[in-house]
Chain A
Amino acid sequence: MQATETDIRTDVRTDEELVEFVVGGEVDCFEELITRYQPRVFGMARKYFRNESDVEDVVQTIFTKTFQKLGSYKGTAPFEHWFMRLSVNTCYDALRRRRNRREHTISDMLFEDESWQDRLGNIPSDDDKEGMEQARELVHTVLDQVSDRARIVLTLQELEGRSVKEIAEITGWSESLVKVQAFRARTEMRASVERFLMKEKRL
């Protein structure tokens, strides 16, 4: 009975409690934090990087960085916010480092069977793995053409539906800077999409 109660208590440990344990020297508690957050971090990293090896590298960096900086977590804001901020910033740094490694060009993403705009109109079903993969490739190729800042803002605002205030908190930028970046991001994205269409028309 005693053991069961302890087990239950262990299961409902909050993130902040786990952080306290890790900082106090119980390193194994960090594994629970990893297990809790890894699906979200993987999902997030896949929005920024197309290669699975790049995704794994970034996620690994995020968690090791978190472990190293855990001592600086003050506990004034929820751990999730602090962690997500660190994750987004790590992705941004990694994007900047990989800036010169853009694998696909616009011409690679032109389809023989249907027009690019037609493809945008049809989101593949979950069962259609190949279609889904192609759709993700398409998104990555368009977003590869925009700047890293624009990509971060587009992903946070348009994909994750975060507010300007939230983006400012995550990125550490001021709210006015986020608004400016969001406007620029939309312009860059529009230009990138138009480049696709122009290329398609020429062929």
Chain B
Amino acid sequence: MEPYDVNGYRQMKANDTEQFLKLAKSVQNDERVPVNFSARVMTRVRKQHTLETRSADEQFLKFFRNLPWKEHVPYAFEKRIMARIREFLTPDPLTVWSRMLWRAVAPCFGVMILAALFSAKEPTAAFIDQAAFDPAETTTETVDPESTDFETVMLASFDDLEYTW
């Protein structure tokens, strides 16, 4: 019995495969299409689609998508909007006045705080000055000299009235 040549067999098989592949590659693709093939496929696709869209919600969506929505614009609509915009642009006296008042809020508030700070500080300063001038008096009683001046000024008119009567 002839010994089995494994390598030779493999070599032969490899050659055959290569040859077969060459032959297969040389064969040109047949790209002919049967008549009305695309139409036939599309009919089936549509049929399938209608079968799929049998559920009510799908049907509703299909209806919703295919419904034409009118883009009709009322007569001279742009003029109407422009008139409204011009109204915005014309300043209303009341609005301007209120806007000014609102703008004045912050400065007024600032002035108020400053005035409060000054009025809180000033008596102390006067008191210190007076204490330096007359230390004995300040130790016994703490009279605000500003308040006495204020009273004199405020009641001056009433003093004059006494003389007139």
Contacts and interface: CB of A to CB of B under 8 A. Distances in A.
B57 interface: yes
Interface string B73-86: 11001111110111
Interface in A136-161: 136, 138-139, 142, 154, 158-159, 161
A135 B69 contact: no
A69 to B, nearest CB: 13
Contacts, number: 90
A38 interface: yes
Contacts of A177: none
A179 interface: no
B74 A123 contact: no
Nearest to A52: B74
Given A27-B86, A43-B71, A123-B66, A189 B78 contact: no
B88 A64 contact: yes
Interface in A113-142: 117, 120-121, 123, 126, 132, 135-136, 138-139, 142
B153 interface: no
Nearest to A40: B71
A35 to B, nearest CB: 5
Contacts of A161: 65
A48 to B, nearest CB: 10
A65 to B, nearest CB: 11
Contacts of B84: 60, 64
Interface residues of A, number: 42
Contacts of B86: 27
B77 A59 contact: yes
Given A39-B73, A42-B71, A56-B74, A117 B56 contact: yes
A153 B61 CA distance: 13
Contacts of B79: 31
B87 to A, nearest CB: 10
Given A31-B82, A159-B65, A120 B71 contact: no
A197 B66 contact: no
A60 B81 CA distance: 6
B154 interface: no
A139 B59 CA distance: 12
A123 B64 CA distance: 9
A56 B72 CA distance: 11
Contacts of B61: 158, 189
Interface string B30-65: 000000000000000000000000001101111111
B85 A67 contact: yes
Interface of B: 56-57, 59-74, 77-82, 84-86, 88-89
Q: Which 7 A-B pairs have the closest CB atoms?
A: A43-B71, A39-B71, A34-B78, A190-B57, A120-B59, A193-B56, A193-B57
